[in-house]
């Protein structure tokens, strides 16, 4: 049943009931619940929160900021930390009575947040603050984000040893419920013991989500009534820390506060024994998330609660990792032969379990990282998933059960271990051997990201990376080779410079890192007197963790002054908008502001300046700009870029210069072209610097003001939705979750809405009364890399892990083909169980954008890989990106469209009504997303033809096999007279006489190109082209029978070389009638446009930029088009240029090459001939780009041809 009064804020406002939360949201709810609990006890308390953003707790501050009014109402004060250490010191201050008495509150709770490296930075603060202790009615909770898989960290982390060293108790929640419950206990524990309390939040909890029960009286702390030295325990905060007071504090911690912490854990049941009692022989202990994975592993092995009792297996769930409660360990160990301790990373709990039990009579054997013979047992690397745990647990269970059977304890009626155990282990073993992906996605910079160009360095220079998005320069074109810890940027050069002949280095540092701590590294470099250029990438946001403002930042003018005061030799500011600084504060003396187009020049100047120099690259974060536009805080630009694909050569120069993911290669009838993905374009415009005349700058119509002053989106922001889908779509047979849940695994690309679909489904589950466990695995992947989401639906209470293990996916939703076909992801699928719904859209990787040689893998091969791991006969395929673009006017809801298909195919266990309600609650592009969801359903229900009929459009591209040519810009643009001429030429040739399917396809290919050549110049040129292809085809049939590969290659590439794009042709192609329609289809209604050209004549005269040609200048293009008949004659003034001469020579060279190959053609030489015929594909682009392609053409031709081959001309057309 739908909850009509439900809203998303109930996760914070609902005081009793069920709430859906992520781990981060559960953390932010804690101070609200604590304030309510204190108020119920008659206390007026506040909470002070400070920390530094970093995954997995990267969005704590953003969540706080979005709910500031609610938190303000509960006296929560949040102050972003400049860095972790200072934030921790501020939290210490919230407990320090000597700084001043509380004026309006009875106590202040302190909360710190940060990731593992931040914990390392704060060791000294944590020790000092913990020694000083907590204030009455206060308490400190230290939220430590642990990243065991280094998803968003340079190194994997394990925070327990650092807190043990600081003598801070450690709580470890494993679910959303435990985040709330243990969090409240943590504050109570801190108040009772006087200690700071660490709260370990691992990535799978922080990024996970689930349903929790909340109630004002759910957590009621129990007083342990502890006595120490015969006196009731009561923490008293003492002043001072220096000796001898610090020695007294140490004694108080060791012999008082830590004992109080253990007593609190015992009295309040923070650790719990379950499983077998009595005759149990094997005990398994685990904490937090690892315990949930253990329960999942046991279930996968066929061991439910009854089996645990039957086989004598006892479990210990540990909520407080340290100090480990001695008494419960002893009770847990009673009667056991062995205890297996599951520690993630290095042994920690294992050491204390062994220490507690050492020397006790009848104590069981303790194993963990190694077994009793010293062999590896529990992995110490990565994270402990259920599948990894199952392997270790199964070994110990088998030994324990064998011992019991031998001793007769189990009796004859118990039987052997569950058959599921061997099957599960075999499945895990197979999954562990999954091969590598055909092509993996790597995280990449966002469209329009400043780092696309700011991280480039002059040829021959060396750069080092730092912490932040810009660190992707390590694998994007290897622009940087070294990475440092946060704040150490450039300091390694101080230790290396005296011993190397390398004279200089560049050091990238983000503004967030600079103001966090790296400013000290600049000071150190100045003091050391090394030659280094710091590139401060001033983007105005901490983009890696969600776009937070940079705490402690100063403006660019003030930054130049600060650097001058530090003693840097020279500072240059490179900006995307130099005029922005014209009216700002004064720059430091000698500091200069240049346009970003002079970046290379600026870097060379700074590199050649002795000492420490600084380049400030000033351009706002692209992701922040996009967020601000979505929220109405920034207008959407009316200037858009369109590529005329008829002019485009697919050379990739625009992608190489911009590294922009919105500049996408597409396959067309005329080869690879480049297209702007308008839905994701971020208006950076760097792409137009590509050396190509195909770019058109389009001005869309400005936003219209509505009756209430509200603005409607500009026409260019999203095209009009074609039609509304039907609302009354027949319901499919919906799956019902079984006892072990129902698993949906989603694989997609960061930044395309994978997490949004995941959260929509989770909300729908809550609305439908289901329970849910889930996890969104993102990390760096949110920047264009692989993102996967796990969802497990339950009809009853959820249990186990939020990760879907090997073979456990019931529905495999492939939102990106490359990520979906990754064998490591496909280990979640099962050929007998898993339905796959896969989008076949060919979304390019960053390398495909920047390097034209990187091509998309064979789609059929990828789909075959998916089919092999899933229920091939039931699977659904659709080109979601192009379908959404065609039906909804934008590709943005593509993932929701795929979700609709999965729903209609019977793969989703929640109702359509709940999904649509969840989309409404999400509040983003509601109409478009609901329409997309319904269109996906229609596609599965009615098929492609039914979809086209209901949508009322000519066609909807449902498969990547359908051509992507834009109508009017391909070969369909030829005139009627040219088509008639071409048809006549074909009828006279032997091509029309070939009676085979392949022959007919070849004839059509040649006829379409011949028609274009008539328009290009003349019927004579088309006739010569048809004759040559006819001769090549006849010779191929003579030698190879019905094969057409060679003739097709000749047809394609002789046409390509013949129809070279000179000034006349560029003009003709820009004047095609279909260009305006194509622009309208791409960006919507527009007010005007300018073609951006860099004519070779003006370039030779020194013009370094492109000129704009609008409608009023187009008569000049008409004149050029009319002059095309003089091409190649003495009157062709443009034909004397070097590039034009080479273009004409290439035609002759290619014909001669092919004549020689055809004359010498044999079956053995056939493949070589085809390769040679296809070689002109490497000749792309204009001017220098094209000349580089010609050079490559000759190099590859020489590599293929045998030495001494002598060309022989075909004087007559072969027959046969």
3-class state of residue 920 by DSSP: helix
**CATH of range 451-620; options 3.30.1950.10, 3.40.50.970, 3.30.390.30, 3.20.20.300:** 3.40.50.970
**Element (DSSP H or E) covering residue 613:** strand 612-618
Q: What is the three-state SS of 137-178? A: CCCEEEEEEECCCCCCCCCCCCCHHHHHHCCCCEECCCCHHH
- Model confidence at 457: pLDDT above 70: yes
The answer to whether residue 409 scores a pLDDT higher than 50 is no
Residues 1097 and 197: their CA atoms lie apart, in Å, by 73
Determine what percent of the chain is predicted with pLDDT higher than 70. 94
SS3 state at 549: coil
* Burial class for 2, CB neighbours closer than 10 Å (0-12, 13-18, 19+): middle
Q: Are 952 and 723 in contact (CB under 8 A)?
A: yes
Which residues on neighbouring strands pair with residue 51, listed in sequence order?
Answer: 113
DSSP 250: H
Angle between helices 912-922 and 894-904 (to 10 degrees): 160
pLDDT of residue 410: 45
Report how far residue 447's alpha carbon sits from residue 626's, in angstroms, rounded to the nearest whole number: 10
Report the Cα 426 to chain-centroid distance in Å.
Answer: 32
* 994-1037 pLDDT per residue, tens: 888 999 999 999 999 999 999 999 999 999 999 999 999 999 99
* Stretch 619-624: mean pLDDT: 90
Q: What is the pLDDT of residues 1014-1025, one digit of tens each?
A: 999 999 999 999
Q: Report domain extents, the chain.
A: 17-266, 273-432, 451-620, 742-951, 971-1062+1127-1200
Task: Give the whole-angstrom CA distance, residue 161 versus residue 171.
Answer: 13
Query: Is the model more confident about 771 or about 964?
Result: 771
- Residues 568-583 have a mean pLDDT of 92
CATH topology of domain 17-266: Rossmann fold (3.40.50)
Which residues are within 8 A (CB) of 407 and not within 5 positions of it... i.e. 6 or more apart?
none
pLDDT band for position 413 (cuts 50, 70, 90): very low
Task: Give the distance, in angstroms, between the CA of residue 1157 and the centroid of all CA atoms in the same chain.
Answer: 48
The whole-number pLDDT of residue 961 equals 67
Q: Which residues pair with 78 in a beta bridge?
A: 49
Closest C-alpha to 955, from 859, 879, 892, 898 = 879
pLDDT at 414: 44
Q: Which helix (H) or strand (E) holds 743?
A: strand 742-749
pLDDT at 746 over 80: yes
- Torsional sign, CA 731, 732, 738, 741: negative
Rounded distance, CA 1146 to CA 433, Å? Answer: 50
In this model, does residue 706 exceed pLDDT 50? no
In the chain, % of residues over pLDDT 90 = 76
Compute φ and ψ for 610, nearest 5 degrees: -65, 150
**Which range among 232-241, 382-391, 730-739 shows the weakest confidence by mean pLDDT?**
232-241
3-state SS record for 1045-1111? HHHHHHHHHHHHHHCCCCHHHHHHHHCCCHHHHHHHHHHCCEEEEEEEECCHHHHHCCCCCCEEECH
Could you give the C-alpha distances from 491 to 190, 465, 506, 527, 536, in angstroms and in order? Answer: 39, 12, 12, 11, 15
Q: Taking a C-beta distance cutoff of 8 angstroms, is the pair 314, 286 a contact?
A: no
pLDDT reading at 1203 higher than 60: no
pLDDT in tens, 279-333: 889 999 999 999 999 999 999 999 999 889 988 899 999 999 999 999 999 999 9
Confidence at residue 681, expressed as pLDDT on a 0 to 100 scale = 92
Q: How confident is the model at residue 948 (pLDDT cuts 50, 70, 90)?
A: confident
Give, for 309, the enclosing helix (H) or strand (E). helix 305-311
Radius of gyration of the chain (CA): 34
Find where tokens 């780092």 sit.
451
Rounded Cα gap, residues 1052 and 1037, in angstroms: 18
**Mean pLDDT (whole number) for 152-169:** 94
Predicted local confidence at residue 950, as pLDDT: 85
**What single-letter DSSP state applies at residue 711?**
B
Alpha-helical regions (H) of 989-1040: 997-1016, 1019-1040
Task: Name the pLDDT band for 97 (thresholds 50, 70, 90).
Answer: very high
Burial class from Cβ neighbours inside 10 Å (0-12, 13-18, 19+) for residue 420 reads middle
Closest residue by Cα to residue 803 from 382, 322, 305: 382
Report the candidate in 1014, 1003, 1012 with the shortest Cα–Cα distance to residue 1048.
Answer: 1003
Element at 22 (helix H, strand E): strand 17-22
pLDDT at 4: 62
3-state secondary structure of 193: helix
Banded pLDDT at 469 (limits 50, 70, 90):
confident
What pLDDT does residue 406 have?
Answer: 53
pLDDT for the residue 1204: 53
What is the mean pLDDT of the segment spanning 1116-1121? 93
Summary mean pLDDT of the chain: 91
Query: Architecture of domain 273-432 in CATH?
Result: 3-Layer(aba) Sandwich (3.40)
CB burial of residue 279 (10 Å; 0-12, 13-18, 19+):
exposed
Asked whether the predicted pLDDT for residue 709 surpasses 50, the reply is: no
**Averaged pLDDT, 377-395:** 94
pLDDT level of residue 506 (50, 70, 90 thresholds): very high
Find the length of the chain: 1216
Which residues make Cβ contacts (< 8 Å) with residue 1004, sequence separation at least 6?
A: none
Is residue 453 scored above 50 in pLDDT? yes
* pLDDT digit string, tens, across residues 323-381: 999 999 999 999 999 999 999 999 999 999 999 999 999 999 999 999 999 999 999 99
Model confidence at 1, in pLDDT bands (50, 70, 90)? very low
| Cα 935 from Cα 378, distance rounded (Å) | 48
Tokens of 148: 């065991």
Q: Identical fold at 17-266 and 273-432?
A: yes
Alpha helices in 279-362 (DSSP H): 288-300, 305-311, 326-333, 349-357
CATH architecture of 742-951: 3-Layer(aba) Sandwich (3.40)
DSSP secondary structure code for residue 687 in this structure: G
pLDDT at 928 over 60: yes
Please state, as a whole number, how many other Cβ atoms lie within 10 Å of the Cβ of residue 1054: 23
First to last CA, the chain: 74
Q: Per residue in 103-135, pLDDT tens?
A: 999 999 999 999 999 999 999 999 999 999 999
Q: Name, in order, each residue with C-beta under 8 angstroms of 535's C-beta and a sequence gap of 6 or more.
A: 454, 455, 463, 506, 507, 508, 509, 603, 614, 615, 617
Please give the DSSP secondary-structure letter assigned to residue 455.
Answer: T
Separation of alpha carbons 758 and 744, rounded Å: 9
β-sheet bridge partners, residue 877: 838
Q: Which tens digits make up the pLDDT trace of 200-231? A: 999 999 999 999 999 999 999 999 999 999 99
Q: Is 418 exposed, middle or buried (0-12, 13-18, 19+ CB in 10 A)?
A: middle
């Amino acid at each position: 049943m739908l909850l009509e009064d439900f809203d998303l804020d109930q996760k914070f406002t609902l005081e009793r009931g069920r709430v859906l939360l992520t781990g981060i949201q559960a953390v932010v709810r804690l101070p609200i619940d604590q304030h309510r609990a204190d108020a119920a006890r008659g206390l007026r308390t506040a909470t002070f929160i400070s920390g530094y953003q970093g995954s997995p707790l990267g969005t704590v501050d953003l969540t706080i900021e979005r709910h500031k009014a609610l938190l303000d109402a509960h006296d929560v004060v949040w102050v972003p930390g400049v860095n972790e250490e200072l934030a921790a010191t501020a939290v210490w201050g919230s407990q320090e009575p000597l700084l001043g008495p509380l004026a309006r509150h009875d106590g202040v709770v302190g909360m710190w947040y940060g990731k593992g490296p931040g914990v390392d930075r704060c060791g000294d603060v944590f020790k000092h603050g913990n020694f000083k202790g907590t204030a009455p009615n206060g308490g400190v909770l230290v939220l430590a984000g642990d990243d065991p898989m280094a998803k968003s960290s340079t190194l994997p982390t394990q925070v327990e040893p650092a807190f043990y060293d600081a003598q801070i108790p450690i709580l470890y929640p494993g679910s959303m419920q435990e985040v709330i419950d243990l969090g409240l206990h943590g504050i109570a524990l801190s108040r009772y013991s006087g200690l700071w309390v660490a709260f370990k939040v691992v990535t799978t909890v922080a990024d996970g989500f689930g349903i929790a029960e909340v109630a004002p009286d759910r957590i009621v702390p129990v007083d342990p009534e502890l006595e120490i030295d015969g006196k009731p325990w009561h923490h008293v905060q003492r002043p001072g820390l220096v000796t001898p007071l610090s020695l007294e504090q140490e004694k108080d911690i060791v012999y008082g506060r830590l004992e109080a912490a253990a007593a609190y854990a015992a009295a309040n049941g923070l650790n719990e024994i379950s499983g077998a009692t009595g005759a149990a022989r094997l005990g398994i202990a685990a904490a937090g998330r690892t315990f949930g994975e253990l329960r999942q592993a046991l279930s996968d092995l066929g061991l439910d609660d009854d089996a645990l009792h039957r086989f004598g297996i006892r479990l210990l769930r540990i909520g407080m990792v340290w100090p480990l409660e001695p008494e419960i360990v002893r009770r847990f160990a009673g009667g056991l032969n062995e205890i297996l301790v599951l520690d993630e990373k290095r042994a920690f709990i294992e050491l204390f379990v062994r220490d507690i039990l050492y020397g006790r009579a009848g104590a069981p054997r303790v194993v963990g990282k190694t077994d009793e013979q010293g062999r590896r047992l529990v992995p110490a690397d990565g994270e402990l998933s259920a599948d990894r745990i199952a392997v270790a647990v199964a070994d110990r269970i088998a030994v324990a059960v064998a011992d019991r059977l031998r001793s007769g304890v189990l009796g004859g009626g118990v039987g052997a271990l569950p058959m599921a155990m061997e099957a599960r282990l075999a499945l895990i073993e197979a999954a562990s051997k999954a091969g590598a992906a055909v092509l993996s996605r790597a995280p990449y910079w966002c469209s329009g990201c400043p780092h696309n160009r700011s991280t480039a360095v002059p040829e021959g220079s060396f750069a080092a990376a730092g912490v932040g998005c810009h660190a992707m320069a390590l694998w994007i074109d290897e622009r940087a080779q070294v990475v440092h810890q946060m704040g150490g940027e450039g300091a390694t050069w101080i230790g290396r410079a005296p011993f190397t002949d390398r004279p200089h280095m560049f050091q990238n540092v983000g503004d967030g890192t600079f103001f966090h701590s790296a400013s000290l590294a600049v000071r150190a470099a100045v003091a050391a007197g090394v030659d280094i250029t710091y590139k401060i990438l001033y983007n105005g946001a901490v983009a890696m963790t969600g776009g937070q403002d940079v705490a402690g930042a100063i403006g660019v003018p003030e930054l130049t002054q600060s650097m001058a005061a530090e003693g840097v030799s020279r500072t240059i500011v490179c900006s995307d908008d130099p005029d922005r600084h014209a009216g700002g504060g004064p720059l430091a003396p000698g500091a200069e502001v240049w346009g970003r187009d002079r970046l290379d020049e600026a870097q060379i100047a700074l590199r050649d300046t002795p000492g420490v120099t600084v380049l400030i690259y000033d351009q706002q974060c692209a992701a922040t700009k996009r967020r601000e536009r979505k929220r109405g805080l920034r207008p959407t630009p009316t200037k858009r870029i369109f590529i005329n694909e008829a002019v485009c050569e697919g050379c990739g120069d625009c992608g190489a210069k911009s590294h922009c993911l919105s500049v996408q290669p597409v396959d067309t009838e005329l080869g690879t072209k480049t297209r702007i993905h308008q839905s994701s374009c971020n208006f950076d415009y760097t792409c137009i610097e590509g050396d190509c005349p195909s770019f058109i700058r389009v001005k869309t119509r400005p936003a219209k003001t509505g009756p209430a002053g509200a603005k409607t989106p500009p026409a260019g922001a999203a095209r009009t939705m074609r039609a509304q889908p039907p609302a009354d779509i027949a319901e499919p047979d919906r799956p019902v979750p079984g006892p072990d849940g129902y698993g949906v695994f989603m694989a997609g690309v960061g930044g395309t809405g994978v997490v949004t679909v995941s959260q929509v489904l989770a909300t729908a589950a809550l609305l439908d009364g289901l329970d849910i466990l889930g996890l969104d695995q993102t990390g760096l992947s949110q920047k264009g890399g692989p993102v996967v989401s796990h969802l497990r639906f339950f009809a009853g209470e959820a249990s186990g892990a939020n990760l879907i293990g090997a073979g456990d996916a019931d529905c495999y939703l492939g939102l990106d083909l490359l990520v979906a076909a990754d064998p490591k992801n496909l280990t979640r699928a099962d050929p007998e169980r898993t339905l796959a719904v896969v989008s076949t859209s060919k979304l390019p990787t960053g390398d495909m954008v920047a390097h034209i040689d990187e091509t998309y893998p064979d789609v059929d091969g990828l789909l075959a890989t998916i089919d092999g791991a899933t229920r091939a006969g039931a699977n659904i395929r659709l080109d979601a990106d192009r379908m959404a673009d065609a039906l909804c006017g934008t590709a943005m809801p593509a993932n929701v469209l795929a979700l609709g298909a999965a729903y209609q195919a019977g793969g989703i266990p929640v109702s359509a009504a709940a999904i649509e309600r969840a989309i409404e609650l999400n509040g983003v592009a509601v109409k478009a997303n609901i329409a997309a969801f319904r269109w996906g359903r229609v596609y599965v229900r009615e098929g492609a033809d039914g979809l086209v009929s209901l949508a009322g459009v000519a066609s909807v591209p449902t498969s990547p096999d359908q051509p992507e040519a834009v109508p009017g810009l391909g070969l369909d643009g030829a005139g009627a007279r040219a088509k008639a001429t071409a048809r006549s030429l074909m009828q006279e040739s032997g091509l029309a006489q070939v009676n085979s399917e392949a022959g007919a396809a070849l004839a059509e290919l040649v006829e379409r190109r011949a028609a274009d050549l008539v328009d290009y110049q003349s019927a004579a040129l088309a006739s010569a082209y048809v004759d040559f292809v006819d001769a090549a085809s006849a010779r191929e049939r003579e030698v190879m029978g019905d094969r057409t590969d060679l003739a097709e290659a000749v047809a394609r590439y002789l046409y390509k070389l013949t129809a070279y794009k000179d000034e006349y042709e560029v003009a003709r192609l820009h004047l095609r009638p279909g260009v305006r329609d194509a622009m309208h289809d791409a960006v919507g209604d527009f007010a005007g446009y300018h073609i951006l050209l860099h004519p070779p004549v003006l370039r030779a005269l020194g013009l370094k930029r492109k000129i704009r040609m609008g409608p009023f200048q187009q008569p000049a293009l008409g004149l050029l088009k009319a002059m095309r008949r003089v091409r190649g004659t003495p009157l062709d003034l443009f034909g004397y240029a070097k590039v034009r001469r080479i273009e004409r020579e290439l035609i002759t060279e290619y014909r001669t090459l092919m004549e020689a190959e055809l004359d010498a053609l044999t079956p053995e030489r056939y493949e070589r001939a085809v390769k040679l015929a296809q070689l002109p594909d490497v000749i792309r682009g204009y001017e220098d780009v094209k000349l580089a392609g010609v050079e490559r053409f000759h190099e590859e031709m020489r590599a293929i041809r045998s030495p001494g081959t002598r060309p022989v001309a075909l004087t007559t057309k072969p027959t046969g």
